[in-house]
Amino acid sequence: MKQHHHYDALIIGSGAAGLTMALHLSQNARVAVLSKRALKSGSTWLAQGGIAAVLDTTDSTQAHMQDTMSAGGNLSHPDAVEFTVSHGKESIEWLIQQGVHFTQDSDDYHLTKEGGHSHRRIIHSADATGKALQSTLIERAIASPNIDLYEDHIAVDLITRRKLGLAHNRCVGAYILNEKTGHVEVFQAPHVVLATGGASKAYLYTSNSDGATGDGIAMAWRAGCRVGNMEFNQFHPTCLYHPQAKSFLITEAVRGEGGKLILPNGKPFMHKFDKRGELAPRDIVARAIDHEMKRLGCDCLFLDISHKPAEFVRSHFPTIYKRCLKLGIDITKEPIPVVPAAHYTCGGIVTDEKGRTDIAGLYAIGETSFTGLHGANRLASNSLLECLVYAKSASQDVFNSLTTPLDESIIPAWDETQVTDSDEDVIISHNWDEIRRFMWDYVGIVRTDKRLQRAKHRIDLLHQEISEYYSHYKISNDLLELRNLAVVADLIIRSAMLRQESRGLHYTLDYPDLGPEALDTILTPINFAWN
């Protein structure tokens, strides 16, 4: 088995961002795309709603920008918003060229409306847009002679010249655990791209796949990159509440097409919290549901679209209809039980509009990055758009530096001589569970100083335990994810403690009002080193 691989570009992550960049790069470069599980296992595959883009003549780039800024609590960076929104139409056209089939209405594409949007601008493929997008991109990547796809390969850590004790710091590759062999391999490349998604698995309840453990954010932090706005964790208001419905999201488009949120007694309540009702931004809807659940002491609330014609419901939401029906819920006749769940990480690795991080040769794109687009709360369906726009922008920057020679420094093989096989894996599962529970209880939808202090105390103790375990035993997927989750949880807690106001997704009872200025929370490794 080959232990040392060489590529022009190494892309860690196989979702919309990673595959889009790989396809753009494959025209001129040899590319490796790593997926820590199956290619279809990430968050992109699960995306239901669609992609926000200005495609209708009654809509405008300015309106999309304003909606994004408003949803973002006026913390979104205007330049990032304009850059992303202005490239929306061309991104959709590129996807259509790749073969993605979007839902049509008569002779044109059907556009739906979601919370926070002033126009219908969500292009979609029924209610399984992510699946349609990613399956197409995977097919195109498999067909490309310049792209090598590696499943069951999980990144351990980035390799930089500084870590090798050399001058002129630059990212030169990564150590990768090949789960098929159990061995760590070296992937060497002058351009390394983190497209690893978010960190919502830090919470007990999440709509994300099991792999959303913040790996890229943690690795970049350990390598010396800044992170920004990690306190802004978006909780999707409506995940299906059922013991057999793990991580199943009820798309915002259900509310966009007339679905009503109701209490167990059947009464609507969103009008009491926001004049936009069900179409208020996600942070407002999630807090409203959380408030009513706590007030009533109930396990869930309900989303009702049964007042719409049955054929309309089945045709617009076939995936949701079939999934719920398997669980004994006919959404054409009865409401859907729902709860909020961690859904999206608005912060991440600080980048510019080309996806460049603080380390030369290292890029971050998609949910793992902090571009400034989302501010204090992501506008619905802007996430896939960001993946597409920044993947193309970053690929163009890599093209301009493809002449950068492969670093000839000798990268040592992974050393396992000082570690042993673990007979205490229960520690991993216990610590994983503890992190997710106290993050949900203390760093969730509503926060206080006391809750955050409790969380900080616990993560400090757990970090010591995890670091000791990591130093003595052979690594595994579960251990690597736990190690990364601990880093990300700490970054979220530290960021939340620094923000003494309530803005967007960060709501604290101790500081319920907006601060005088809209400022980012930027953490720098030299001050918060966890190396």
Same domain, 309 and 392: no
Domain count, the chain: 3
108-142 per-position pLDDT tens digit: 999 999 889 999 999 999 999 999 999 999 999 99
Same domain, 211 and 242: no
Mean pLDDT of all residues belonging to the chain: 94
Contacts of 519 by beta carbon, 8 Å cutoff, 6+ apart: 75
Same domain, 313 and 366: no
pLDDT at position 303 is 98
Same domain, 174 and 191: yes
Stretch 309-320: mean pLDDT, rounded?
A: 96
Within-domain flag for 29: yes
pLDDT at position 530 is 38
Same domain, 338 and 350: no
Within-domain flag for 516: no
CA gap 417, 175 in Å, rounded? 16
In the predicted model, is pLDDT for residue 2 greater than 80?
A: no
Same domain, 75 and 188: yes
In the residue annotation, 282 being an active-site residue is answered as: yes
Question: What CATH number is given to the structural domain containing 226?
Answer: 3.50.50.60
Contact call for residues 216 and 359 (beta carbons, < 8 A):
no
CA gap 339, 408 in Å, rounded? 52
pLDDT at position 6 is 95
Within-domain flag for 117: yes
Same domain, 43 and 162: yes
Closest CA to 127 of 225, 309, 250: 250
Cα–Cα separations (whole angstroms), residue 128 to 124, 321, 369: 8, 12, 24
Within-domain flag for 30: yes
In the predicted model, is pLDDT for residue 527 greater than 60?
A: no
Contact call for residues 19 and 137 (beta carbons, < 8 A):
yes
Same domain, 247 and 158: no
Same domain, 202 and 351: yes
Same domain, 369 and 311: no
**Range in 221-230, 286-295, 327-336, 365-374 the model is least confident about:** 286-295
Residue 531's pLDDT band, with cuts at 50, 70 and 90, is very low
Question: What CATH number is given to the structural domain containing 294?
Answer: 3.90.700.10
Within-domain flag for 377: yes
Concatenated DSSP letters of 182-228: TEEEEEE-SEEEE-----GGGSSSBSS-TT-S-HHHHHHHHHT--EE
Residue with tokens 């202090």: 453
pLDDT at position 513 is 97
DSSP H or E stretch at residue 429: helix 426-442
Strands 9-12 and 4-6: unpaired
Stretch 138-147: mean pLDDT, rounded?
A: 98
Same domain, 200 and 246: no
pLDDT at position 1 is 63
| Range among 203-207, 395-399, 467-471 rated most confident | 395-399
pLDDT at position 528 is 43
Within-domain flag for 518: no
pLDDT at position 529 is 38
Measured in whole angstroms, how far is the alpha carbon of residue 305 from the centre of its chain? 28
70-105 per-position pLDDT tens digit: 999 999 999 999 999 999 999 999 999 999 999 998
**Buried b or exposed e, range 495-510, using 16+ CB within 10 angstroms:** bbbebebbbbbbbbee
Q: What is the pTM of this model?
A: 0.93
Within-domain flag for 106: yes
Same domain, 186 and 202: yes
6-60 per-position pLDDT tens digit: 999 999 999 999 999 999 999 999 999 999 999 999 899 989 889 999 999 999 9
Catalytic option among 121, 282, 323, 494: 282
Question: What CATH number is given to the structural domain containing 480?
Answer: 1.20.58.100
pLDDT at position 294 is 86
Contacts of 194 by beta carbon, 8 Å cutoff, 6+ apart: 12, 13, 216, 219, 220, 349, 357, 362, 363, 364, 365, 368, 369
Residue 205's pLDDT band, with cuts at 50, 70 and 90, is confident
In the predicted model, is pLDDT for residue 200 greater than 50?
A: yes
Within-domain flag for 416: no
Residue 109 structural domain:
4-231+346-400
Q: Is the dihedral of CA 505, 508, 509, 515 positive or negative?
A: negative
Stretch 301-323: mean pLDDT, rounded?
A: 97
